Structures are given as structure tokens and as C-alpha cells.
């Protein structure tokens, strides 16, 4: 265990595509898996778009951009991960599909491969327990948007062995992230703090009758946030945030973890933020 030559990324939604982008930019051959060829192509187009923007802004050479895009292979088959040294999972945030996937990866991948989950609010230990080798399962929790946010939390589950854990840490550094080490507790480090904080922000909308625009102005101008809480929840996805809040509330029973009714109503109405074109703000 140690050298990572080929990486697999399962799920090329916003997070998976961002993680695949980081890998190919760092010179690592990457296999990306989506459930349909169309979704895979969509992710490749998105990666190509962001890398083209870097070329236009003088941050990347055209040849380096083309080489990076060329390092991404798309597939719909998990069997194509057989030769990967590291597989990073970024599928739907549901325990059972993740456990089923890890059981499959455990069967398909070589014994030395490291299996990582990008889960933000589920237990890495419960995911690892679906495999025959839980020692090689680790959390690699990236932040949205993954290519821009420096942090990756390297999460040690109950049975994670030292070598795969350090391999994941070193890989985080290799792709340009700042890794931090932590254990598998609900929300790990950042979401343990950020999710109840964002929920507080949304409750303040109703309590102090501030507008979303003014709340965002307040937290940017008065607390130094790079982006206001309403804009951030729109970016993360209101469905994703509600789901993560519910998962953390279920585990901790802390009232501040519970999703505010206003966000649940928005989720139920299909106001999901940027991805649906409307959340607290409207998007093109
Ligand atoms: N992928 C790749 N590149 C992207 C991108 C993406 N998703 N989104 C934007 N970019 C690129 C664009 O090309 C953009 O340039 P152009 O607009 O010129 O094309 C470039 O990045 C820079 O974008 P911005 O000028 O908008 O960058 P900024 O300086 O305004 O910073 C930000 C943007 C980094 C998102 C900043 O606003 C920020 O730090 N916001 C806070 C984000 C945050 O807190 N994220 C954590 C969410 S919580 C989470 O993720 C945990 C969880 O488990 C749910």
C-alpha cells in the first residue's frame, strides 16, 4: 500500500466531478463512473469548462488542460476499478447504497487498494463494516466546491489501519489539498460546527425578520464569511443540507442539528438552490 497510480471516482455529481478534476489536474490517471454515459459526459464537460476558464485566466497552459482532460476515462461499470489503487466514493448520501457499493468494490478491487468515502454525515465505520477488509476503508471528506476549497478531512473509522489512512492523507496533499486528521464522529470536524451554525442562521431569518440578502451581508461584513449563509446553503443544495442535518440530528439528538422547518418546506417545494435555479436566490 502506498503509491497511487490510478484512482477511481464513483459518482460524478458536483462533488465527484470536482474530486476527479483535482486528480487529473495533479497528473493522476482517473476512472470516473456514472450510472449512464450521458451523466459521465456531462461531468467531463463541466471539468473541461472549469479547466478552460483557468486557461483563459492564465492559470493553466492549454496543453496541460488537454492532458488533464485526457487523463479522465469514463465508465458505467464498477469492474473498471479493478486496477485502481484508490477509489473515492461520492454517490448519494444514503447508507444502504453506500454499503452495497463498498461490498462490491471490496470484491472487485485488489487487496492493496484503499477505499475512501466522501460522506459528509454518515458513519465511515458503518460503511466499512459492509466490506471484508474494513482496515482499508477511510473517509476523505471534501468541501463544496472541491476544486476551490482547500480542506479535506481524513477520517479514521474504528478499524481503519495505519497504512491506508496515511496513504489517503498523502494523496490529499498530492492533489493540492490541506488534509486534517480526525476520527469518525457525527459530522467529523467542520460539519459538526457548520451545520448547526447554518441552521441557526436560517432560524434567525424568522426570528429577527432580516432578509436573506441582509443576513448574508451581515455575516460577510460582520463575521468575515467569504459567502453569506443563504448563498452557501443555495450552493451546497437545500436538499443536501436538510439531509445532512437530519442525519446528524438522528445521531446526536441536539436540537440545533435538526433542519429548520423553513428549509424543509423549501426542499419539499423543490427550491433546492443553485441546482434547481431557485433557493434563497434565483439563478439563471
Ligand atoms: N469547480 C471548479 N471550479 C469552479 C467551481 C467548481 N464547482 N466553481 C467555480 N469555479 C471556478 C470558476 O471558474 C471561477 O472563475 P470564473 O467565475 O472566472 O469562471 C473560479 O473558480 C473562481 O470563482 P469565484 O471567483 O467565484 O471565487 P471566489 O473567490 O468568489 O470564491 C468560493 C468562491 C471558494 C466558493 C468562496 O465563495 C467560498 O469559500 N465560499 C464558501 C464555501 C464553503 O463554505 N463551502 C463549504 C460548504 S459545506 C460543505 O461542502 C460540507 C458538506 O459536507 C456539505
The answer for residues whose C-beta is within 8 angstroms of residue 96's C-beta and 6 or more apart is none
CB of 105 closer than 8 Å to CB of 170:
no
Over residues 96-121, the pLDDT tens digits come to 999 999 999 999 999 999 999 999 98
Phi, psi of 103 (to 5 degrees): -60, -40
pLDDT for the residue 50: 97
Ligand 1 centroid – CA 146 distance (Å): 8
CB of 203 closer than 8 Å to CB of 230:
no
Tell me which residues are annotated as active site.
120, 141, 153, 191
pLDDT for the residue 284: 86
pLDDT tens digits, the chain, 284 residues: what are they?
568 999 999 999 999 999 999 999 999 999 999 999 999 999 999 999 999 999 999 999 999 999 999 999 999 999 999 999 999 999 999 999 999 999 999 999 999 999 999 999 899 999 999 999 999 999 999 999 999 999 999 999 999 999 999 999 999 999 999 999 999 999 999 999 999 999 999 999 999 999 999 999 999 999 999 999 999 999 999 999 999 999 999 999 999 999 999 999 999 999 999 999 999 999 98
CB of 191 closer than 6 angstroms to any ligand 1 atom: yes
CB of 148 closer than 6 angstroms to any ligand 1 atom: yes
CB of 142 closer than 6 angstroms to any ligand 1 atom: no
> What cell numbers appear for 230 in the block?
443563504
Ligand 1 centroid – CA 226 distance (Å): 10
> What cell numbers appear for 211 in the block?
432578509
pLDDT for the residue 2: 62
How far apart are alpha carbons 120 and 143 in whole angstroms? 9
Ligand 1 centroid – CA 232 distance (Å): 10
Ligand 1 centroid – CA 188 distance (Å): 22
Ligand 1 centroid – CA 148 distance (Å): 5
Rg for the chain, CA atoms, rounded:
19
- Hey, whose CA ends up nearest to atom 39 of ligand 1? 226
How far apart are alpha carbons 184 and 188 in whole angstroms? 6
How far apart are alpha carbons 164 and 88 in whole angstroms? 13
Q: Among residues 184, 185, 176, 194, which one has the least CA distance to residue 156?
A: 184
- Classify residue 257 by its DSSP letter: G
| Region for 137 from its dihedrals, namely left if φ exceeds 0, alpha if ψ lies in -120 to 50, beta otherwise | beta
The string of DSSP letters for 141-186 reads EE-SSTTT--EEEEEEPTT--HHHHHHHHHHHHHTT-EEEEEE--T
- Adjacent-strand bridge partners of 140: 154
The HSE-up count of residue 224 (CA atoms within 13 Å, CB side) is 0
The string of DSSP letters for 81-138 reads GTT-SEEEE---S-HHHHHHHHHHHHHHS-TT-EEEE--SSS-HHHHHTTSS-GGGEE
Closest approach atom of ligand 1 to CA 240: 54
How far apart are alpha carbons 7 and 31 in whole angstroms? 6
- Hey, whose CA ends up nearest to atom 54 of ligand 1? 236
CB of 273 closer than 6 angstroms to any ligand 1 atom: no
> What cell numbers appear for 36 in the block?
449512464
- Hey, whose CA ends up nearest to atom 24 of ligand 1? 148
Amino acid at each position: 500500500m502506498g503509491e497511487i497510480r490510478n484512482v477511481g471516482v464513483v459518482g460524478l455529481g458536483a462533488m465527484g466531478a470536482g474530486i476527479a478534476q483535482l486528480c487529473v489536474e495533479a497528473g493522476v490517471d482517473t476512472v470516473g463512473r456514472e450510472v449512464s454515459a450521458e451523466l459521465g459526459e456531462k461531468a467531463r464537460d463541466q471539468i473541461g469548462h472549469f479547466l478552460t476558464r483557468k486557461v483563459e485566466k492564465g492559470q493553466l497552459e492549454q496543453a496541460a488542460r488537454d492532458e488533464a482532460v485526457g487523463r479522465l476515462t469514463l465508465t458505467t461499470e464498477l469492474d473498471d476499478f479493478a486496477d485502481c489503487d484508490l477509489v473515492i466514493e461520492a454517490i448519494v448520501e444514503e447508507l444502504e447504497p453506500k454499503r452495497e457499493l463498498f461490498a462490491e468494490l471490496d470484491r472487485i478491487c485488489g487487496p492493496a487498494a484503499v477505499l475512501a468515502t466522501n460522506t459528509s454525515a454518515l458513519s465511515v465505520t458503518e460503511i466499512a463494516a459492509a466490506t471484508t477488509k474494513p482496515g482499508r476503508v477511510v473517509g476523505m471528506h471534501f468541501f463544496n466546491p472541491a476544486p476551490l476549497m482547500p480542506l479535506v478531512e481524513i477520517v479514521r473509522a474504528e478499524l481503519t489501519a495505519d497504512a491506508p489512512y496515511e496513504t489517503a492523507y498523502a494523496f490529499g496533499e498530492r492533489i493540492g489539498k490541506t488534509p486534517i486528521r480526525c476520527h469518525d464522529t457525527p459530522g467529523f470536524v467542520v460539519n459538526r460546527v457548520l451545520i448547526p451554525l447554518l441552521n441557526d442562521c436560517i432560524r434567525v431569518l424568522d426570528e429577527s425578520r432580516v432578509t436573506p440578502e441582509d443576513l448574508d451581508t451581515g455575516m460577510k461584513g460582520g463575521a468575515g464569511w467569504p459567502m453569506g449563509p443563504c448563498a452557501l446553503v443555495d450552493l451546497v443544495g437545500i436538499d443536501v443540507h436538510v439531509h445532512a442535518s437530519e442525519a446528524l440530528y438522528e445521531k446526536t439528538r441536539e436540537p440545533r442539528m435538526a433542519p429548520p422547518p423553513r428549509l424543509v418546506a423549501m426542499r419539499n417545494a423543490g427550491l433546492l438552490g443553485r441546482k434547481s435555479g431557485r433557493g434563497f436566490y434565483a439563478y439563471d
